[in-house]
Structure 1
Amino acid sequence: MTSLPDWMRPPRTEGWFAEDLDRLPEAPRHTELIDGALVFMMSPQRSWHSRVVTALTNALDAQAPAGIEVEREMTVRLDSRTRPEPDLLLVTVPFDPDRTWHDPENVLLVVEVVSPESAHRDRTVKLRKYAEAGIPHYWLIEDEAGAAVAHVYELDAPTRSYIPTGIFRGSLSHSVPFAITIDLSRLVPRTDAAP
């Protein structure tokens, strides 16, 4: 077994902390910190995932009211040892070109587009952690035979857990965090269409 590069060794015996992510220029792009452990996105990203994220970014950006920004692939500092990187965020703070993470109190919505390698984290670990941090809305976008399906959750504040508010196929129409209508069937081009 080859030795680990120096940058992969935690800077202290307690392991990694949220601020350490900003000091790891050698780390692969999309490195997350979950409970003090570095999580790398090592497998190549599927085109389906990339297209869905881009189309959702455009749709949310077009409908977001003034004062709400759409961020893509930006970490959220949930606590001192957890900084996941959702695919999309709706935030209530102005754009800052030097920002590297967001506070959960400024996040209205987190969107995770599920990939095979992230499925467990997106459906269980992040679902729990985003809710515990008080983020009001969480969407999971799943690949169902090539179609984008949205699983929509809303925070139950007293229990700090998410409750499902709908599974949307074809079209997503929701009133929170603002009035949103998205044609899910148009997020990814049909593969059965004639050239």
Structure 2
Amino acid sequence: MTAQPVGSASRRPWSPDPLRQRLANYTIEDVLAFPDDAPRVELRDGVIIVVPSPTFGHQTIANLLWLWFRQHAPLDYEPVTAVGVAISHRDTLEPDVLLLRRPVVRESHYFDPDQVVVAVEVVSPGTKRRDRLEKPADYAAAGIRYFWRIEQEPVHVHAYELVGDRYELVADSAEELVLAKPFEVRLRIRDIAP
């Protein structure tokens, strides 16, 4: 008797098709049709980028921020995690936390940028470049008005507002984030720290 899972010899883990990656022709519809065991991915110009699994600390920060939004955001806003933003048919992003305008279609995995109030990225060692440089530029190009970047160890929140076609830092803190927009925010950073 072996401890090998049933069917494991005939089934390999999911990975993107190398030819389609070179052709850069993946779309949102392709991603939605992936098998259940496929990893979370983003699309950039039709190329798949696998999103690394979050660490315990990363996930705790995101979940605690989701809870804080749920308790403090206006009722016409809905916080969510593990859903994407459809920038275009060939470009998607998977933020760590989103604050959306209601109504929200519960069966959706992707939301249009105009429904996003705040996009949040929690920076991890393997995602520093994308979370600090690439993704903010993508969110700005999509017209998402507010972007928050959360650094870990220590937890520090940077809040940006879209001015023209670029984000400008409006507040940052490792103690308490105070903002007037998109709603009155008084977020004690210890409330989202693991």
TM category (shorter chain) comes to 0.7 to 0.9
Q: Does 1:103 find its partner at 2:112? A: yes
Q: Which residue number corresponds to residue 4 of structure 2?
A: none
Q: Which residue number corresponds to residue 176 of structure 1?
A: 181
Q: Does 1:185 find its partner at 2:182? A: no
The counterpart of 2:102, out of the listed 90, 93, 111, is 93
SS of equivalent to 1:78: strand
Moved more, 67-76 or 13-22: 13-22
Alignment-mate amino acid for residue 149 of structure 1 = H
Alignment-mate amino acid for residue 134 of structure 2 = V
* TM alignment of 1:28-177, pairs within 5 A: 28-42=38-52, 44-143=53-152, 146-157=153-164, 160-177=165-182
SS of equivalent to 2:87: coil
- Is residue 21–residue 48 contact of structure 2 (8 Å, CA) maintained in 1? no
Scaled by the length of structure 2, the TM-score of the pair is: 0.85
- Is residue 87–residue 142 contact of structure 2 (8 Å, CA) maintained in 1? yes
**Take 1:171 and 1:6, find their aligned partners in 2: how far apart are those partners?**
42
**Take 2:180 and 2:105, find their aligned partners in 1: how far apart are those partners?**
28
User: Please, which runs of 5 or more residues in structure 2 have no aligned partner?
Assistant: 1-11
**Take 2:38 and 2:191, find their aligned partners in 1: how far apart are those partners?**
31
SS of equivalent to 2:70: helix
- Is residue 141–residue 149 contact of structure 1 (8 Å, CA) maintained in 2? yes
| Cα-Cα RMSD | 2.1
Using the TM superposition, give the Cα deviation of residue 26 of structure 1 relative to its aligned residue in structure 2, in angstroms: 4.7
**Take 1:151 and 1:41, find their aligned partners in 2: how far apart are those partners?**
22
SS of equivalent to 2:155: strand
Scaled by the length of structure 1, the TM-score of the pair is: 0.84
Q: Which residue number corresponds to residue 19 of structure 1?
A: 29
Q: Which residue number corresponds to residue 16 of structure 2?
A: 8
Using the TM superposition, give the Cα deviation of residue 188 of structure 1 relative to its aligned residue in structure 2, in angstroms: 2.2
Count how many residue pairs are aligned between Structure 1 and Structure 2: 181
- Is residue 121–residue 150 contact of structure 2 (8 Å, CA) maintained in 1? yes
**Take 1:45 and 1:11, find their aligned partners in 2: how far apart are those partners?**
24
**Take 1:66 and 1:134, find their aligned partners in 2: how far apart are those partners?**
23
| CA deviation profile, 1:33-74 (whole Å, cap 9, x unmatched) | 1222211134x5221111101110111111111211111121
Percent identity, aligned pairs only? 29
| CA deviation profile, 1:86-142 (whole Å, cap 9, x unmatched) | 011111132322111000011111000011111111111111010010000000000
Alignment-mate amino acid for residue 186 of structure 1 = D
Q: Which residue number corresponds to residue 192 of structure 1?
A: none
User: Please, which runs of 5 or more residues in structure 1 have no aligned partner?
Assistant: 190-195
Moved more, 45-54 or 21-30: 21-30
